[in-house]
Amino acid sequence: MRAVAYARYSSANQREESISAQLRVIYDYANKHGINIAKVYVDEAQSATSDNRDDFQRMIAELDETSPDLVLVHKLDRFARDRFDAAFYRREIKKHRARLIAVEQDFGEGPEAGLMESILEGFAEYFSKNLSREVKKGHTENAMQGKHCGGIPPLGYSLDKDGKYIVNKEEAPAIKVIFERKLEGYSYKQIADELNKLGYKTKSGRPFGPNSLHDILRNEKYNGTFVFRKTSPNSSRQAEDPTKTMRIENAIPKIIDKDTFDKVQEIMDKSRCQPRPNEGKQIRYLLTGLIRCGLCGQAMAGDTNTRKYKNSSATYGYYKCGLAKRTKECTNSTRYPKNTIELEVLGRIEKRAASIKNPESMADKLITKLKKDFEKNDRQKELRKLLTKTEKELHNLTNAIASGADPRLLASKLNEAGKRRDQLKEEVKKAGVPIDLLDKQRLVDFLREQKEIKFDRNDEVQCLAAIRKTIKQVLVYPDRTEVEFKELSL
């Protein structure tokens, strides 16, 4: 296992562990678990209440380059004390297929640990939604002005210094080829082959594959229409409430004229309604949309192979990395037998359900552990001390004025102390974890639901229902399969 380590020291709190002490604990953990620490990031005398930390930001920016399996910190408060930042950056780490571990708060590897991770992800989801609400007003204003709202601009566009879309003259011709060929009746594969022969690349610098073209052809930006909140924040494909979607025509430069764009949409709408050849005879791949290559992160596709014998034939199903299949860029070129992977996942679901002996008792244990870990929040203690000190200062200033001191001489100090008190109150609130959100009954219901999941392995419909209900993602590596369960929804 490969890891990067992050340590932080705040000079404001003399009880904080030193950098060397934090790193010693992190390295002890790494040695004990056979983890190789590839790089160490350190921020000295910088507060975790802000994410403006040089090495912290460098660590996040270099995740693609360092490609760690794990990000190791001493405690969760070394990573981030603002719960919104913690949820946001935990998600960023997960996007790079890595896992954040606070080595002194590690929940281990057992079934209870998996449930704890699910619950913590529920907290992260809750915090993330709050963060989303905090920034939504700014995003809406950007959308109204045709400004970029985050992420990587689509192929064919770049951003100017003000965050507005401009046509990328090197990439835009590829977009025109895609729309023109679709209008001429080319298949996705034929279009991808032509783009690759012409030397065009995707936004990430890879060759085109058939699966990369659908979203381009459906993207209204190429027609100059800025669409905001069309999809759910959790999925680029899942539609959000249509009443919340904003469409602003002529907000960004067009690459495709309206007539061409509309004709292509008609073609795609018609083809969507047509039955596929041999539909109904295909093998059902139970993990479609959930299974990904562990090495490159690309979706794995079903690969059906029919073998003919003297008097009969047999059909076999496999999962294979889509990138390795299309371009050979990924080294994970193995075809994994469908039944082997699916049975392993189903076995994990059964094992998880069997591990929940008593939902009520397990809920008590989990809540106790959550409270124990999160109530050790040194930051809250520090902030409360500062708040008490500030309130005392305000009290003394008020008493001084009441005793006859000139208010004009103390007004600026009074205002500053008042602002500092309000800011500290907000920081105390942010540094805490709302344990009351996770009431026991909600957790018991979640555990009972997981415990009661049953299915017949020979019934594909039951197996599919169990998988969709419990599994968030399956990562397949050459030497192992990792199963990620859905989190508890708060």
pLDDT value at residue 51: 45
User: Which residues, 6 or more positions from 231, have their beta carbon under 8 angstroms from its beta carbon?
Assistant: 237, 238, 239, 240
37-82: pLDDT as tens digits: 999 998 875 443 444 467 888 898 899 888 999 999 887 655 654 4
Quote the CATH superfamily of domain 145-273: Putative Large Serine Recombinase; Chain B, Domain 2 (3.90.1750.20)
Distance of CA 37 to the CA centre of its chain: 23
380-409: pLDDT as tens digits: 677 788 888 998 988 888 888 878 887 778
Return the domain boundaries, the chain.
2-106, 145-273, 378-431
User: Which residues, 6 or more positions from 221, have their beta carbon under 8 angstroms from its beta carbon?
Assistant: 154, 157, 165, 227, 252
Spatial distance between the Cα atoms of 227 and 222, rounded to a whole number of angstroms: 11
211-229: pLDDT as tens digits: 789 989 999 999 988 876 5
Q: Cα(first)–Cα(last) distance of the chain, in Å?
A: 32
pLDDT value at residue 88: 64
Spatial distance between the Cα atoms of 214 and 469, rounded to a whole number of angstroms: 27
Spatial distance between the Cα atoms of 131 and 125, rounded to a whole number of angstroms: 10
256-295: pLDDT as tens digits: 999 999 999 998 888 765 555 444 456 889 999 899 998 8
Spatial distance between the Cα atoms of 152 and 164, rounded to a whole number of angstroms: 13
| Residue 176 one-letter amino acid | K
- CATH of segment(s) 2-106: 3.40.50.1390
The Cβ of residue 178 has, within 10 Å, a number of other Cβ atoms equal to 27
107-120: pLDDT as tens digits: 665 555 666 656 65
Residue 187, sorted as left (phi over 0), alpha (psi -120 to 50) or beta, turns out to be beta
Burial classification of residue 280, based on how many CB atoms lie within 10 Å of its CB (0-12 exposed, 13-18 middle, 19 or more buried): exposed
pTM of the model: 0.49
| Residue 37 one-letter amino acid | I
Residue 250, sorted as left (phi over 0), alpha (psi -120 to 50) or beta, turns out to be left
